[in-house]
Amino acid sequence: MYVCTSQGNNLKIIKMAETVIVKYRGIELQLEGDIIQAYDGRYNEMSVSVEFETQEVYAGGVLITNLLTEENLTDLDALAAESIR
């Protein structure tokens, strides 16, 4: 896990490796990547944003990352972030 704290605006950013399962175009995919979550560093510690950066994609245990376009990976990042929220 990686934690970065911004002094000026009390923003805390946490980055950690995670595996997420999503359904994309009717196919269940396993995504391995990083969750990046920003928190308001004040008393309530509310999450400001959640993002996911896909590193590897598996379908049925087979690595398929190289078969996907950048647009596919962007869609998968959005689906993963949505499933985490």
More confident residue, 60 or 12: 60
Position 43 scores a pLDDT of 56
Range of the domain at 78: 2-84
Round to whole Å and give the CA distance between 22 and 36.
17
Counts of helices then strands in the chain (DSSP H, E): 1, 5
Domain count, the chain: 1
Position 42 scores a pLDDT of 63
Position 46 scores a pLDDT of 59
**Residue 53 near residue 31 (C-beta atoms within 8 A):** no
What's this model's pTM, rounded to 2 decimal places? 0.77
> DSSP letter at 67?
G
